[in-house]
């Protein structure tokens, strides 16, 4: 929404006489006939805005409506700023709280860097040794779960490749079919 008071360069509580005088001064200043071709288009647009602002501010009813809309817009802007500040404060508090929790969990158990083999081992220990607590589950990132999934896929691919290599085929058959752990699957 355009601020007509700024366009006419007057204050919000300016009288009709001040608005009339400001309008006449600005029309003389920005009249397109006084400028070259390049500046003429810019001044035509500016003069159009000046005429629009004067049309609203010179009419008492339209000015009251415009002032109400301007106040509502200002209230919305202030409300949005306050909401943004509250949101940023909440985000900052959550970030600090997560860092404190993360620091506490690092003190309890040594956690390796994300993406390393050590973090993969830590994650599998956490999952299979004991059920993770809710706070620990939140700390498991998508990267950790992706690392577990990719590791499983790589192991399967290595098994398939070893199966089709003649030298390791016998060893793979022995591992799968002679192993008591896998025997129950193929009975």
Q: Which tens digits make up the pLDDT trace of 58-101?
A: 988 998 999 999 899 889 889 888 888 888 888 888 877 877 76
Sorting pLDDT into bands at 50, 70 and 90, what band is 108? very low
Domain count for the chain, please give it.
Answer: 2
Q: Are 75 and 119 within one domain?
A: no
| 35 located within any domain | yes
CATH code where residue 36 lies: 1.10.287.110
Sorting pLDDT into bands at 50, 70 and 90, what band is 107? very low
* pLDDT at 10 exceeding the cut of 70: yes
Q: Are 78 and 116 within one domain?
A: no
Domain around 167:
112-183
* pLDDT at 26 exceeding the cut of 50: yes
Residue 5 pLDDT: 87
* pLDDT at 42 exceeding the cut of 80: yes
CA 37 to chain centre: 44
d(CA 152, CA 33): 77
What does pTM read for this prediction?
0.45
| 62 located within any domain | yes
| 98 located within any domain | no
Average pLDDT of the chain, as a whole number: 79
| 100 located within any domain | no
Last residue of a domain, one of 82, 104, 128: 82
């Amino acid at each position: 929404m355009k601020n007509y008071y700024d366009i006419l360069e007057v204050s919000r509580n300016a009288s009709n006489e001040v608005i009339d005088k400001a309008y006449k001064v600005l029309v003389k200043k920005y009249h397109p006939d006084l400028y070259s071709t390049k500046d003429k288009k810019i001044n035509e647009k500016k003069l159009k805005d000046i005429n629009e602002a004067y049309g609203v501010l010179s009419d008492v009813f339209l000015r009251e409506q415009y002032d109400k809309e301007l106040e509502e817009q200002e209230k919305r802007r202030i409300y949005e700023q306050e909401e943004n500040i509250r949101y940023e404060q909440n985000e900052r508090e959550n970030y600090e709280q997560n860092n404190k929790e993360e620091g506490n969990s690092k003190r309890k158990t040594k956690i390796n860097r994300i993406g390393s083999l050590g973090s993969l081992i830590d994650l599998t220990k956490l999952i299979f040794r004991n059920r993770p607590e809710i706070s620990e589950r939140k700390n498991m990132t998508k990267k950790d779960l992706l690392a577990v999934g990719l590791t499983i896929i790589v192991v399967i691919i290595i098994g398939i490749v070893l199966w089709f290599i003649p030298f390791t085929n016998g060893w793979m058959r022995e591992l799968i079919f002679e192993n008591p752990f896998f025997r129950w699957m193929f009975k």
